[in-house]
Structure 1
C-alpha cells in the first residue's frame, strides 16, 4: 500500500468517515442541509488540504480530484437524510471520528514519505492530516477542539504515524499491516474515550 489504487481507496474511505463525522456534528447543532454538507466537507478535507500544502502537492487533491469533494458531500448528505435512524448522535460522531483518525494517519504519513519528507517530518504530517479535519469540524460547530483538550487524540495519531513510518522503513507497508495499524489506532482512541484517559494538564 505504498501508492496507487489501494492508497486512493483508503484515502476516500477516510474522507467518507470524516465527512460523516462532521455531518453528524452539524446535525446535532441543527444546521440546514448546506451547513451540514459544508461542515462535512471541511471535516473530511481540512486535514488533507493541510497535508498537501505542507508537502508541496498543489493544488491539493481536495480541489484537483473531483472524487474527494463528491465523496465528502455525498457522505454528508446521506447522514443529513438518515440522521433520524442514527441513535445517540454524539456516540456516532466519536466512533466515526476515531475511524477517520486511524485512516488519515496512515494515508497522511505514507503520502509525506512518498513526497520525500524525512521520517520525523512525515510523522508530524501524518498527525496533522489526522487531526486537521476534527479541528476544523469543532471550530465550525462552536466546540472546543478535541485536540486541545485533555483527551488522548493527537497522541494516538502521532504514535500511529510512527508505527506507519517504521512499517514503511522495514518494507512491511502492505495493505494488511497498514489496515491493522489503522484499526489499532481506532480502538485505542475509543478505549481512551470509554476509560477517560487523558494527558496531564497544568495545575492553576
Structure 2
C-alpha cells in the first residue's frame, strides 16, 4: 500500500515537472528530465545523505511512472493544464506524504529529530527545487508564495515528534501527512505566504 501511495505522489509531481517543460518549450527528452527530477529528486537526495541505495533505483515503477506522466503531458497537455486545480490538490497530498515518509525514514536510520525534519522537508521540496534550477527559474522555495515549504516543515516536525513519543507506523505517517496537506490547501485557498523582511513590500 505504501508503495502505491508513493508512486501516486511521484506521478503527480512528474506531471508538474512535465508541464514546466511544456511552458519552457522543451522537447520530450527535456520534459522527461524535468518530470523525473521533480518526482524523484528529493528522495534521491535524502537517500544519498542517508548513505543508502536510492529507492528510485530499486523498483522499475519509480522510473516508468515519470515517463508515463511525460507521455500523457506530451500528447494531452492542454487537457492536463485545464485540470491543474485538481492536480494541485493531489500535489498537496503528495507533499504531505513525502515529508512524512522522508522524516520517518531518516529517523529509522538514526538521525536526530531536528535533522530528520530537515531531511523530510528535503524529500518533499527537493525535486521541485531541482526542476526550477534545471528550467532556469528562481526556485519557488526561495519565495514561498502560498506556503509550500512551510507545510512540509510542519508535517515533518509532527512526524518527528510522534516518533519521539514512540508513535510509529501508518497512523503516525497519515496524521503528519494530513496536517501538511490541510495547511497547504488552506494556504492555496486564502493566499497565505511566508512573511517578508521588515519594511519590504510584496511584489505584484
TM-score (norm: length of structure 2): 0.84
Distance 1:180 1:27, change over 3 A: farther
Mark the CA change 1:98 to 1:141 in structure 2 (over 3 Å): closer, same or farther. farther
C-alpha displacement at 1:46, in angstroms? 0.7
Whether 1:149 and 2:143 are equivalent positions in the alignment is yes
- Output aligned runs, 1:24-43, within 5 Å: 24-43=19-38
Aligned partners of 1:19 and 1:72 also within 8 Å: yes
> Structure 1 residues 130, 39: closer, same or farther in 2, change over 3 A?
same
> Greater RCO between the two (CA within 8 Å, min separation 6)?
1
Residues 109/48 of structure 1: CA separation in 2 closer, same or farther (3 Å cut): same
Q: Distance in 2 between matches of 1:150 and 1:42?
A: 20
Cα 1:99–1:76 shift into 2, 3 Å = farther
Aligned match of 1:3: none
Q: Is the 8 A contact 2:12 2:87 kept in 1?
A: no
Query: Using the alignment, how far apart are the partners of 2:177 and 2:171 within structure 1?
Result: 10
The 5-angstrom pairing of residues 2-81 of structure 1 reads 6-58=1-53, 60-81=54-75
Q: 2:94 aligns with which of 70, 93, 100?
A: 100
Quickly say closer, same or farther: Cα 1:103–1:180, change in 2 above 3 A. same
Q: Which moved more, 1:90-99 or 1:137-146?
A: 90-99
Instruction: State whether structure 2 residue 113 is matched by structure 1 residue 119.
Output: yes
> Gapped runs of 5+ residues in structure 2?
none
Query: Which residue of 1 is the match for residue 192 of structure 2?
Result: 197
Find the partner of 1:85 among 75, 79, 94: 79
| CA–CA distance in structure 2, aligned partners of residues 98 and 54 of structure 1 | 25
Q: Deviations over 1:132-188 (max 9, x none)?
A: 011112222232211100422212111100111223333443334423432332232
The question of whether the paired residues in 2 share the 8 Å contact of 1:21 and 1:96 is answered with no
Q: Secondary structure at the match of 1:86?
A: helix
How far apart, in 2, do the equivalents of 1:92 and 1:82 lie?
Answer: 16
In structure 2, distance between residues paired with 1:76 and 1:186: 25
- RMSD value, Cα: 2.3
